Structure 1
Amino acid sequence: MLTTDDIIKDGHPTLRKVASEVKLPLSNEDKETLEKMMEYVQNSQDPEVSAKYKLRPGIGLAAPQINISKRMIAIHVHDEKGTLHSYSLVNPKIISHSVEKSYLTTGEGCLSVDENIEGFVPRYARITVKATSITGEELKLRLKGLVAVVFQHEIDHLNGIMFYDHINKQNPSTPPEDATPIER
């Protein structure tokens, strides 16, 4: 089982690397890694399990965050309507996105960043992602709102980008222009 101690922190060189494509079909080792990543995200959202193992709550995790430089992400999040979006994916790629932007009114956080970084993170309001599931199925996902933000955050990790790289350095607390706020 992964714990908070397995998550590398901001400043670790792996977080700034572009992760490698995952070879298909998935090896047992890669499947196990993805399963452990999903288990962490799910357990971190369960108050009892989270308290018992001192897990920091998260809604997404990318393999580079556990010092594995491979293109794998686990996302377990409820959208604004309460629908659960739970994915263990390899080689996710944004193949199209809206011109329209959005941002979380609370800003973004990250399991690899311990301090609270103030500022709005502009994201695409809608994205289409192609990826392969843990079972080897090719997926094409059309996402919007919070779920689209989470996917963009995790895919950024695969490209060595941290969420705060997107924050306007001059005016971090100014909402991005023409962007839709997402309450969380």
Structure 2
Amino acid sequence: MLTTNEIIREGHPTLRMAAKEVDLPPTQEEKDTLNEMLQYLINSQDPETAMKYNLRPGVGLAAPQINVPKRMIAVHIADETGKQHSYALLNPKIVSHSVEKSYLTTGEGCLSVDREVAGFVPRYARVTVKATTVQGEQVKLRLKGLVAIVFQHEIDHLNGVMFYDHINKQDPFHIPENAVAIER
């Protein structure tokens, strides 16, 4: 079982590397790693399990965060309507996005960052992502709101980008032009 201790922290060189594409079909080890990443997120959101295993709650996890420099992400989050989105994906790629921006009013956090980072992180309000599921199925996901933000955060990890790289250094609480505020 994946634990919080296996998540590497900011400053680790793997977090700044571009992750490698996963050859398809994935190996059993790659599938197991991806399934463990998703299970971590599910377990971390269950208060009893999280307390028992001292898991830090998360909604997304990218393979580089567990020191596996491969293009794999897991996302487990309920959207603004309460609908659950649960994905274990290989080689996710944003193929299109809106002009309109969005941002979380509370700012973003990260399982690899053990400190509060103040500021708004501008993201696209809507994205279309193509990827391969852990079962080998090609998917095209049209995402918006909170789920779109989580996907952009995780895909950034695959490119060696941290969320705070997007925060305006001169004015951390600058509201991006034409941006939708998203409550969390």
TM-score in terms of structure 2 length = 0.99
Equivalent residue for 2:144?
A: 144
Report the residue type matching 2:148 in the other structure.
A
Aligned residue for 1:49, secondary structure, equals helix
Equivalent residue for 1:71?
A: 71
- Equivalent-residue separation in structure 2 for 1:41 and 1:85 (angstroms): 12
- Equivalent-residue separation in structure 1 for 2:63 and 2:88 (angstroms): 11
Equivalent residue for 1:51?
A: 51
Equivalent residue for 2:9?
A: 9
Equivalent residue for 1:92?
A: 92
Aligned residue for 1:148, secondary structure, equals helix
Report the residue type matching 2:85 in the other structure.
H
- Equivalent-residue separation in structure 2 for 1:35 and 1:11 (angstroms): 26
Give 1:117-128 correspondences, 5 Å limit.
117-128=117-128
Aligned residue for 1:34, secondary structure, equals helix
Equivalent residue for 1:173?
A: 173
Equivalent residue for 1:115?
A: 115
Report the residue type matching 2:125 in the other structure.
A
Aligned residue for 2:55, secondary structure, equals coil
Aligned residue for 1:41, secondary structure, equals helix
Equivalent residue for 2:101?
A: 101
Q: Number of matched residues?
A: 184
Report the residue type matching 1:26 in the other structure.
P
Alpha carbon RMSD of aligned pairs, Å? 0.4
Report the residue type matching 1:175 in the other structure.
I
Q: Deviations over 1:9-65 (max 9, x none)?
A: 000000000000001011100000001100100000000000001000000000000
- Equivalent-residue separation in structure 1 for 2:180 and 2:130 (angstroms): 24
**Runs of 4 or more above 2 Å deviation:** none
Equivalent residue for 1:24?
A: 24
- Equivalent-residue separation in structure 2 for 1:87 and 1:26 (angstroms): 16
Question: How big is the shift at 1:123?
Answer: 0.2
- Equivalent-residue separation in structure 1 for 2:106 and 2:80 (angstroms): 14
- Equivalent-residue separation in structure 2 for 1:167 and 1:173 (angstroms): 8
- Equivalent-residue separation in structure 1 for 2:25 and 2:182 (angstroms): 37
TM-score in terms of structure 1 length = 0.99
Q: Deviations over 1:82-130 (max 9, x none)?
A: 0000000000000000000000000000000000000000000000000
Question: How big is the shift at 1:174?
Answer: 2.2
Aligned residue for 1:168, secondary structure, equals coil
